[in-house]
């Protein structure tokens, strides 16, 4: 199963909370969200909120303002911050296997002779693209809204010419 870590889930939840508060669009001098109010709103423990916010500030996704009216806010409008940026800030490069991202390329002992490296790279590219297209504004939900969010269309490279489901991936039966 492909999963994100709890800290990444918390980072997205905190970012969405900041987006709900409209912090990405606030003017200088307006009230920001405190660690305590974010912890209360998200039910994430305060020490964890501090740790996650520190990571998001370092990545340039969240800003910190000191003082009586200080706190945390989005560094850019919610529709300009992708879920992929948040994941990369906490987890590092997005890839489903070691050979599918720049940071870990070359670590797999089978990389030079692997018959499924290409398909895994395609899958990782599709996942990265989908997460890059999804922004914080898309993640903000109206509590009164009961409809399902729109589906994200995923396509493999070269798939735009073919209607219907994508063709099966060419997995090898054995690795030599």
pLDDT at position 174: 43
pLDDT at position 175: 43
Residue 148 vs residue 66, higher pLDDT? 66
Overall size of the chain counted in residues: 176
Cα 46 to Cα 144: distance, rounded to the nearest angstrom: 28
Token pair for residue 31? 């009230």
Q: Residue 25 — left, alpha, or beta (φ > 0 → left; ψ -120 to 50 → alpha)?
A: alpha
pLDDT at position 126: 92
Cα 138 to Cα 12: distance, rounded to the nearest angstrom: 12
pLDDT at position 173: 46
All structural domains of the chain = 6-143+153-159 (1.10.10.10)
Give per-residue pLDDT as tens, 26-39.
444 345 899 999 99
Give per-residue pLDDT as tens, 143-175.
555 455 556 565 555 555 445 555 555 544 444
Residue 5 makes CB contacts below 8 A (sequence gap 6+) with 90, 91
Inter-axis angle of helices 83-91 and 117-133, nearest 10: 120
CA dihedral defined by 18, 152, 91, 143, rounded to 10 degrees?
Answer: 30
Average pLDDT for 81-96: 93
Q: Is the per-residue pLDDT at 76 higher than 80? A: yes
């Amino acid at each position: 199963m492909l999963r994100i870590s709890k800290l990444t889930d918390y980072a997205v939840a905190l970012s969405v909370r900041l987006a709900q508060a409209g912090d990405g669009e606030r003017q200088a001098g307006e009230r920001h969200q405190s660690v305590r109010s974010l912890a209360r709103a998200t039910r994430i423990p305060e020490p964890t909120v501090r740790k996650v916010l520190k990571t998001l500030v370092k990545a340039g996704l969240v800003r910190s303002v000191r003082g009586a009216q200080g706190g945390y806010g989005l560094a850019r409008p919610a529709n300009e911050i992708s879920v992929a940026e948040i994941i990369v800030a906490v987890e590092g490069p997005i890839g489903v296997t070691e050979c599918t991202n720049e940071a870990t390329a070359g670590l797999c002992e089978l990389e030079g002779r692997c018959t499924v490296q290409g398909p895994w790279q395609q899958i990782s590219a599709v996942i990265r693209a989908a997460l890059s297209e999804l922004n914080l504004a898309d993640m903000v939900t109206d509590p009164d809204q009961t409809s399902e969010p729109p589906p994200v269309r995923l396509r493999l490279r070269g798939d735009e010419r073919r209607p219907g489901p994508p063709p099966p991936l060419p997995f090898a039966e054995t690795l030599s």
